[in-house]
Chain A
C-alpha cells in the first residue's frame, strides 16, 4: 500500500498544526506548526553572500535561504527533512543553479571583486563544487560563510562584518537567494553613487498589483528623490504598490545602524531561556528598513524588468521560462536548436550537453533538461524542468512539472501539473503565493513535482501531485501528496 496522506481526513485544527510546506528544496516538503510560529521560533536557516571587489569598491551579495529542518523533525518525525543534499539556491533554473544567475549578474558589474555566500547549512559537496566552478568561470573569488544559527536576513551580514569589510569596499550588494530576475545591478550602482554619501542603502523595487503588494515589503517613496519615506513588511492593508525585490546595495555606513540594532536587540531580548530564538537575529526589513525610512538614508531604485520570487515549484517553472527568454539575447548558445538528427525544439529549451535526448522527442517551449538526463523516443516535454540523471522513457509526456534527480518516468506515462503563472491580464501581477491546500483541505492544483529517485511506472497519469523522494509508485495519482 502506498502511504498516501489524504488531506481530506485531517481536521482544520490539525491542518493548521501540520501545514505542509512544499517548495523546491523538497522537492522538499517541510512541515511546521503554524506560520507565526515559524517566523518567531526561527529554525535552522541558511544564508550566503557573494562578494565582489573592483579597484575602488567591493560589493557583496548576500544570498539567503531558510530551511526549517529542525522544526520539521520535531513536528513530525515521519516527515523526514527532504531538503535533499542540494540546497535550494542550487536548484537549477534554465539549466543553471538559481544563484548562478545572481553571480552572473554580479560578474557583469565592473569592479566586482568577490562574492560571499552566507548560509546556514553545512557546506557540502554540491556547494563546494558549485563555488569552484563559478570561481573558474567568472574569475572572481567566491566564499561561503556559515552562520552558527539562523540570524535572520541581516544578522549574518552584521556577524560577518569584518569579512565583508575586508579590503575596504565602497559598496556591496545583498541579494536574497530566493528571487530571480533580470537584475539591473549596474543601473542600481549608478543610482546609488549619484545619491552620494548620505545614502546607506538602495533597495531594488518593482510594481505589484494592489492586492499582491500585501505579500511583500511595501515601499512609499518621495516620487522626485526616490527616498523611501515609509517601509512596511507584508502590511495588512494597502500602502503602496512598489515592493521590495530582495536586492539591495549598501554603503558600509549601514554597519553603524546594524550595530545599534544588534545591541538594542541583545538588551531587549535578554532571557535565560536557551530555547528562545537567537538574540543575534536581525531582520533587515523590520529592524533596519522600518526605522531608516524617512531618514534620508534609504532609497528605492525602480525596475520593471522581469522579477519574481522563487518560493514554489510553480515559480520555478515561471522563472525557468523567463531566464530562458533572457538567454535569447545574452546566451543564444545555451538554447537548443533544431536540426538534422536533433530532437525537435519548440521555443526556448535548454539541453545540457551531457543529456541524451532521442531525435524523435519534442521539447518545449520552456524546458530545461539537466545533466545526464535521458529523454526517450517520442517523449514530449513542455514547460518543465528535468533534473540531473532523470529518465523519461519512450512516449512519455511531461507538462508543467519538475522531474527530480534520477527519477524515472515510465513509457506512455503522463506527468502533468497546473501552471501557477501570474494573471497575464493584470499588469504587474506576480506569481500567486498559493497555500498548499485550499480552505476545504484539498490540495491546490499546482506544478507536479516528482521527487528524486522516484520510479513512476509505465502508462499511468500523475496529475497535480507531489511525490516525495524515493517512492516507487504503482499506479495513477491525482491531486495528492504521496509521502
Chain B
C-alpha cells in the first residue's frame, strides 16, 4: 500500500505556531500531527509514503529520516517548486503512485481521527470505482462544503459549498483512497482536488463516500486544535488509558510527557497535554490547554483554552484564556491577563491583553 500526504500548505491559520514549525510537525497530543497519520498508515500496512512538500523541505526531510527508521517505512519527499494545491502534488508524484495498479491513500496532514484505513480499502474494493472519500458528520453544515450522496451505496451525487438550505450534514474529512486512473484527471499545475477534481469524478459516478465512525477534527486552527485535543484525549481514555496521567491534582484526561515536572497544589485538567521538559510550578491551574516542549508555567497562574508554544515562559499569577496562542519562546510577565492573544515568536509581553488581539 502507498499513501500521499499533503504537507505543503503554509498553515497560516495555525500561526503563530506555524511561524516556527511546519504545521504537520506541530505536536498534537505530544506527537507531531503527521506522525499520527504515519503510524496509522504503517499499522494499516502502508510500505511507501509520499510527502508532498512545498516549503520547509529541509525541516521535514530531517524529521522524516528519523521516522523512516523508527517505523520501518519508505518515505519519499516530493518537493514542489511552486505550491500545487491539493491535487497538483498527486500529478507531480505520479511516478511513485503508479508503480502498481493498487489504489493509494491521500491525506490532509492536519486532521485527527481514528484513521479507518483498512475499512477504506475494503469499501473502495467493494464499489470498484475510481475514488472513495471519507466523510464525517458535522453539527453546522452551513459552514462547510457538504457532500450529497446515496445513502444506500455511498455514491456521491454532488458537492454543495456552504449550503443555505439543508442538503446534507456530511463533509469531506480530508482522507481519500484513489485508484491510479484518477491521475489522468489531474494536470501538473496548481489544482484543487476538492473543487477541480472531485466534482467531475462525482458527475461520472466514479466517487463514493464512506462515513467515518468516531471522532474527527480538522486541527488546522487553534480553536479546533484544542477541541480536537479534547476528542483525542477522550479516545485515548477508551483505547489506551495507561497513556494518561493520574496523581495529585490531575483532573480528567491529561497527557503528560514523562520528562515534564509538575509542582504541588496544582490543578491540571481536564483535557490538558503537557509536552517534554515542561515545568509547571506550584499552584498553577491548567484546563483545556496544550503546553509544548520546554515551556514553563510559573506559580499560581491560571490557563484555560490556550496553546503555549515551545520554550515559552508564563509568569506568576498570569491568567490566560479564550484560545490564546503563544508562539515559540514568548515570555509573559507576572500578573498579566491575556484574553485571546496571539503572540508572535520571541516576544516578551509586559502588558495585559484584555481583548483578543494579535501581538507582532
List A residues at the B interface (Cβ < 8 Å): 360, 377-380, 382, 394-395, 397, 399, 411-412, 414, 416, 459, 461, 463, 478
Contact = CB atoms under 8 A, between A and B. Distances in A.
Contact of A394 (B283, B304, B319, B321): B283
B337 A378 contact: no
Interface residues on B, range: 10 to 19
A414 B354 contact: no
Nearest to A382: B335
A218 B321 CA distance: 49
Contacts of B283: 360, 377-378, 394-395
Given A382-B335, A395-B285, A463-B337, A377 B265 contact: yes
Given A394-B265, A414-B337, A478-B354, A380 B285 contact: no
A458 to B, nearest CB: 9
B282 A378 contact: yes
A461 B317 CA distance: 12
Contacts of B304: 459
Given A378-B265, A378-B283, A414-B319, A395 B300 contact: yes
Most buried by B among A377, A382, A394, A395: A395
Contacts of A382: 335
A380 B316 contact: yes
Interface string B277-288: 000001101000
B172 interface: no
Given A378-B299, A395-B285, A412-B285, A463 B354 contact: yes
A42 to B, nearest CB: 40
A459 B251 CA distance: 15
Contacts of B299: 378
Contacts of A411: 285
B337 A461 contact: yes
Most buried by A among B265, B282, B300: B300
Contact of B300 (A378, A399, A463): A378
B302 A412 contact: yes
Contacts of A414: 302, 317, 319, 337
Given A378-B265, A461-B319, 20 more contacts: A360-B283, A377-B265, A378-B282, A379-B300, A380-B316, A380-B317, A394-B265, A394-B283, A395-B302, A395-B317, A397-B319, A399-B335, A412-B300, A459-B302, A459-B304, A461-B321, A461-B337, A461-B339, A463-B337, A463-B354
Interface in B311-360: 316-317, 319, 321, 335, 337, 339, 352, 354
Q: Is the interface of B mostly helix, strand, loop or mixed?
A: loop
B285 A459 contact: yes
A413 to B, nearest CB: 8
A397 B284 CA distance: 12
Contacts of B319: 397, 414, 461
Contacts of A461: 319, 321, 337, 339
A397 B337 CA distance: 11
18 contacts: A360-B283, A377-B265, A377-B283, A378-B265, A378-B283, A378-B299, A380-B316, A380-B317, A380-B335, A382-B335, A395-B300, A397-B300, A412-B285, A414-B317, A414-B319, A416-B337, A459-B285, A461-B337
A196 B265 CA distance: 69
A119 to B, nearest CB: 40
Interface string B34-69: 000000000000000000000000000000000000
Contacts of B265: 377-378, 394
Contacts of A478: 354
A382 B337 CA distance: 14
Contacts of A360: 283
Nearest to B304: A459
B355 to A, nearest CB: 9
Contacts of B282: 378
Contacts of A399: 335
Nearest to A478: B354
A328 to B, nearest CB: 24
Interface in B236-283: 265, 282-283
A156 B120 CA distance: 92
B265 to A, nearest CB: 7
A478 B321 CA distance: 14
B336 to A, nearest CB: 10
Nearest to B302: A412
Shortest Cβ-Cβ A-B pairs, 5 listed: A397-B317, A395-B300, A378-B283, A412-B302, A380-B317
A412 B320 CA distance: 11
A416 B302 CA distance: 15
A399 B337 CA distance: 11
A281 to B, nearest CB: 45
Contacts of A416: 337, 352
Contacts of B300: 378-380, 395, 397, 412
Contacts of B354: 463, 478
A466 to B, nearest CB: 17
A463 B352 CA distance: 11
Nearest to A397: B317
A394 B299 CA distance: 12
Nearest to A479: B354
A444 B321 CA distance: 24
A380 B298 CA distance: 13
A45 B315 CA distance: 48
Contacts of B339: 461
A297 to B, nearest CB: 53
B202 to A, nearest CB: 47
B195 to A, nearest CB: 42
A161 B302 CA distance: 60
A457 B197 CA distance: 54
Nearest to A459: B302
A438 B316 CA distance: 33
A411 B301 CA distance: 11
A344 to B, nearest CB: 11
A463 B337 CA distance: 10
A459 B302 CA distance: 8
Most buried by B among A377, A394, A397, A459: A397
